[in-house]
Every structure is written in structure tokens, then in C-alpha cells.
Amino acid sequence: MAPNPGPEDKVDTPATDIPESLVTTLRSTQKLTVLTGSGISAESGVPTFRDAQTGLWARYDPMELATPEAFERDPRLVWEWYAWRRKLAGKAAPNRGHEALAELERRVPDFVLLTQNVDGLHHRAGSQNVVELHGNITRSICSVEGVLVEPREDDAIVPPSCPGCGAFLRPDVVWFGEALPAGEIEDAFDAARECDVFFSIGTSGLVQPAASLAFEALRRGAVVVEVNPNDTPLTRHAGYALRGKAGDVLPGLMRAAYD
Ligand code: NAD
């Protein structure tokens, strides 16, 4: 995967491939909610959990590292995997999909961006109203007290320990099997219920409770738009399924609606 394709590698979805009825809907929408998943960051070089991992980590299954049980079994391994992912995310730049969503926020009066991503790329692209449902990889917390802790630069022991109680630090992310932060999930369901248009972008729709958000929006009568190169459980229910990469489809959509 090329982290930041040059202009010659970019395949834009022509603005003309965006249905005219969607363009009309988008131009008049007052309340728009977007849910993103790891697919939107794939074009920035941050692998999804379902992509093959690379290098040293190729033989590990991310689904089995992103769990409390894995951390209990081998805290060092899990910390080091996250240190690698943190480095990847730090080196990555937001792509044209992230940028299009930051631009969309400036066009729509009431805009909420819900993300399952932990890489911080939406903020770096300029998005403002972002709800991070699964935390943020750049932060660390005490694994016992849950408080935010800044790991010391010179920490030689991995994982570093909490200066308060001595327990291991862990990344401030939600692992498989853990509950989402209550405030964030409440905000997310409110935003799904109240919007008139809901976008589901780059998410397989297999990780709950985020996967229910698009269905909640559908039940409330919102127009649901999916952006994904592949089918998901949402595809046949969505009002529009735009096939392709977020970094191609979203700029095409912005051109069709606002140029
Ligand atoms: P997922 O791995 O289950 O699904 C990724 C989806 O993105 C797939 O449906 C795939 O078809 C689609 N996709 C791939 N490339 C795409 C592209 N260029 N444009 C649009 N779509 C594309 O990811 P998920 O649904 O986000 O759930 C997995 C969990 O993994 C989440 O909880 C998330 O927190 C975590 N995660 C986060 C990151 C990150 O922060 N970047 C990376 C990996 C995993």
C-alpha cells in the first residue's frame, strides 16, 4: 500500500458518477452525521485490522492483540505493538478523504463526525466536531486507575508504569470486549437519531455498538450513504452505496455538490 499516493496514482470518482438526487439532498441537509472506520485511514498507510500486517508484526493477528486478555497475558508485546502503530499514525498524513470531511463540516450547519479510529488523523485534517468512540492511540492511561498519564521519555521498562500506583500503563483505546466511553456513545446515538443524512465510511460494520449507528439513523428516516470498496451488512439497506476508496469518492462528492 502506498502511504501518500502522488497525483498520478490518484483515481478520482468523477463528480458525474455521484447520483444527482444525492447531490440535491446533500446541498439542503441541515444535520449530517458521519461514522468513519479504519478504511478511511488505509490510504494514509495506517493498516486496518483486517489488512495483512507488515514487518515484525506480520505473524500476529491484531484481533488477538487488541484485547484486555492479550494485555494481561503479555503486556510488553501489546505495548510494543501499539508503540509501532503509534509511530505509523504519527508518520502518516491525513489523505483526501479526511480532508473532504473537514471541508464538508464547513458546508453543513450541524455536523458531527463519529470515528472508530484511534489515529487522530481527522483532527489533523482540520475536523472540529469529532467524537472518538474508541479512544486515541497517542494517549496512555493507568491500566488500573484509568487516569491519563504522560509516559516519561526515558522509560526503559516496557510497558512504563503509573507514577501514582505503579501499575502498567496502557494505550487509551477501547479494546475488543471493553465498553465504550458512556458520554461518547450517548453523543453518537443522539447524532445518529437526529441527523437527516448519515454517512458510513470505511467501516466493515462488524464491531458493535458502532455498527448499530447507521441502522439507528435508518430507523429514524435519515438518508444513509455508504462509502466502501466492499460490501458490508449495511450495503443493501443504504440509500446510496458509493463503491470505491474514500480518498477517491469523497473528493468527487464534494466537487459534485459544491463546485
Ligand atoms: P475494519 O478493519 O473492520 O473494516 C475496514 C473497512 O474499510 C472494510 O469494510 C474495508 O472494505 C473498508 N476499506 C478498506 N480500504 C478502504 C478505503 N480506502 N476507503 C474506504 N473504505 C475502505 O475496520 P472498522 O470497521 O473500523 O473496525 C475495526 C476496529 O479497529 C475499530 O474498532 C477501530 O477502532 C480499530 N482500528 C483503528 C485503526 C485506526 O485508527 N486507523 C486502524 C485499525 C483498526
CA atoms within a 13 Å half-sphere pointing along the CA-CB vector of 226 = 22
Q: Using 50, 70 and 90 to split pLDDT, how confident is the model at 158?
A: confident
Determine the pLDDT at residue 10.
45
> What is the average per-residue pLDDT within 147-162?
82
- Whether the pLDDT of residue 109 is over 60: the answer is yes
φ, ψ of residue 108 to 5 degrees: the values are -110, 130
* C-alpha to C-alpha distance for 10 and 107, rounded to whole angstroms: 24
- DSSP-derived secondary structure letter, 98: H
Is residue 28 within 6 Å of ligand 1 at its C-beta? no
* Burial (CB count within 10 angstroms: exposed 0-12, middle 13-18, buried 19+), residue 150: exposed
Q: Is the CB of 203 under 6 A from ligand 1?
A: yes
- Of 103, 106, 102, 5, nearest in space to 115 by CA: 102
Confidence grade of residue 57 (pLDDT, cut at 50, 70, 90):
confident
How many whole angstroms from 173 Cα to the centroid of ligand 1? 15
Residue 199's closest CA among 37, 86, 73? 37
- HSE of 7, CA atoms in CB hemisphere, 13 A: 0
Backbone angles phi, psi at 194, to 5 degrees: -95, -10
In ligand 1, which atom is closest to the CA atom of 245? Answer: 19
The residue type at 95 = N
Per residue in 122-133, pLDDT tens? 999 999 999 999
80 — pLDDT class (breaks 50, 70, 90): very high
pTM exceeds 0.85, yes or no: yes
**DSSP E strand boundaries for the chain:** 31-36, 110-115, 130-132, 135-142, 148-149, 169-173, 197-201, 223-228, 240-243
Does the N-terminal peptide bond of residue 7 adopt cis geometry, omega within 30 degrees of 0?
Answer: no
> Residue 43's closest CA among 94, 89, 7, 8?
94
Answer whether 95 contacts ligand 1 (Cβ < 6 A).
Answer: no
Question: Which residues are known catalytic residues?
Answer: 134
For 21, residues 6+ apart whose C-beta sits below 8 A from its C-beta are none
pLDDT tens, residue by residue, 223-237: 999 999 999 999 999
Pocket lining: 98 vs ligand 1, CB cutoff 6 Å: no
Report pLDDT for 6. Answer: 39
